[in-house]
Each structure stands twice: as C-alpha cells, then as structure tokens.
C-alpha cells in the first residue's frame, strides 16, 4: 500500500537537486522519514506510543525502502527528503513479499492488522488506468521551506509528463492537500480507514504537455 505523502512547496535550488537513492542510503533515508512522518495521522495511528515512535518509524521506512521500493520502484532523495515512485509496469512487483510483511508485523506488533486493513482499503480504490504512483514523499522538518520535497515532486512529475501519464497518490494529511493542488492534483476520493483510522485523500494529476 502507499504510505501517505508529505511535502513542502518552495522552489528547488542547487543544494537540493534530486539524485537516485540506493540501498546504501537506507540509514539516512529512514532517519529523515522518521522525522518527517512523526506527526502524520496514519503513522500515529499505527504507532501511538510516542516514546518509541521515531525508532519504530525508522525501522518501518528502512524495511519498505530496502525490501520494496529500492528493488521495484524509483527512489530519489535530496539531503533532507526522499520520494518513492512506482512506474506503471512495476505495479505488480512493488508490493511487500511475505518476508517484508513479517518484518512489518514485528515492528507494529498488535497494531499490524491496522496496516493490513488500510492496505486492503487503499487497494480497493486503486485506479485501473496506467499511471505513475507516488508511494511516499517526506521532508525532514528541520529543512522545512528549503524546497527539498518540492524538488523531488517536480522530478517525478516531469517523468510522468514525459510519458504522457497521470500520477496518483494518497495523502493522510489534510494540510498537504493545497500543496498537491498547487502542483495540479485533484481529490478523487476520501477514504475513511477501517477500525476508526484517519482519512486518506486519493488524488490524481493529469499529464501535462
């Protein structure tokens, strides 16, 4: 399933140009994403204990990055942000295998069924059209306003536009909706996660010339 997205808006500068992320970047990426998603409603729902949340988020993002998106997605990073994309031809492969699911269950403990239910709810609303998928975008709050997230977003959108394809994502943070709308996304559905979970907003951006 998609981990929701978060970003910031200012234009990119030379210090935050996107570059390909590899498994060697796992430690850095997992730390910055743990900070980026500490206040995210869905991550707080999965990991309600604030005393261990940052450490467990680090493990969570390290797992999905190294075992899922670094293998079957297109991952980019700057010095303070990371984005995981899935090309249309990789959709069938960019899903967690049994070992990955086991690691995530170990991290989430008795909250693991919430992740499963959320993934099923998102999958039920997945679009059928060929598209690029923004699985995750996060920027370290310490770099807020420096354009790291926006640089990564522009990079992926340019790739989708070059292919003439739309982009889909789910956001679990209402404050991010205007940011994505600024980049051409529109809300296509609101998903209330089962079990009293937070709302996800499924968004779509049409390709641009």
Q: Are strands 167-171 and 132-139 parallel, antiparallel or unpaired?
A: parallel
Is 6 part of any domain? no
Number of domains in the chain: 1
Is the pLDDT assigned to residue 74 strictly greater than 90? Answer: yes
Is 179 part of any domain? yes
Is the pLDDT assigned to residue 73 strictly greater than 50? Answer: yes
Is 11 part of any domain? no
Is 8 part of any domain? no
Task: Extract the tokens encoding 110.
Answer: 């008795």
Is 145 part of any domain? yes
Angle subtended by helix axes 112-124 and 98-108, to nearest 10:
130
Contact between residue 135 and residue 171 where contact means Cβ atoms under 8 Å apart: no
Is the pLDDT assigned to residue 19 strictly greater than 70? Answer: yes
Query: What pLDDT shows up at residue 92?
Result: 87
What are the pLDDT digits (tens) for 127-155?
Answer: 999 999 999 999 999 988 889 999 999 99
Among the residues of the chain, which ranges form H helices?
Answer: 26-36, 41-46, 53-64, 70-72, 98-108, 112-124, 148-163, 177-182
Strand partners, 137: 5, 83
pLDDT band at residue 124 using 50, 70 and 90 as cut-offs: confident
> Where residue 21 sits, what CATH number does that domain have?
3.40.630.30
DSSP 64-122: HIIIIIHHHSEEEE-SSEEEEEE-GGGTTTSS--HHHHHHHHHHHGGGHHHHHHHHHHH
Distance separating alpha carbons of residues 16 and 81, to the nearest angstrom: 9
Domain that holds residue 190: 17-205
Is 12 part of any domain? no
pTM comes to 0.91
Distance separating alpha carbons of residues 204 and 201, to the nearest angstrom: 10
Is the pLDDT assigned to residue 62 strictly greater than 80? Answer: yes
Is the pLDDT assigned to residue 9 strictly greater than 70? Answer: no
% of the chain residues with pLDDT over 90: 81
Is 125 part of any domain? yes
Is 5 part of any domain? no
């Amino acid at each position: 399933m998609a981990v929701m997205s978060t970003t910031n808006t200012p234009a990119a500068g030379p210090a935050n140009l996107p570059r390909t992320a590899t498994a060697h970047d796992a430690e850095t990426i997992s730390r910055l994403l743990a900070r980026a998603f500490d206040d995210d409603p869905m991550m707080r729902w999965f990991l309600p204990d604030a005393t261990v949340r940052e450490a467990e988020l680090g493990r969570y993002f390290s797992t999905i990055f190294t075992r899922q998106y670094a293998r079957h997605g297109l991952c980019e990073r700057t010095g303070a942000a990371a984005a995981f994309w899935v090309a249309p031809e990789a959709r069938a492969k960019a899903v967690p295998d049994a070992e990955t699911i086991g690691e995530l269950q170990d991290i989430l403990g008795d909250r693991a069924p919430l992740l499963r239910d959320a993934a099923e709810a998102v999958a039920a609303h997945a679009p059928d059209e060929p598209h690029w998928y923004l699985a995750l975008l996060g920027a370290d709050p310490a770099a807020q306003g420096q354009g790291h997230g926006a640089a990564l977003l522009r990079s992926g959108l340019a790739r989708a536009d070059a292919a003439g394809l739309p982009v889909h994502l789910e956001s679990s943070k209402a404050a991010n909706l205007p940011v994505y709308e600024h980049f051409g996304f529109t809300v296509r559905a609101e998903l209330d996660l089962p079990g009293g979970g937070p709302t996800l907003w499924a968004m779509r951006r049409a390709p641009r010339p």
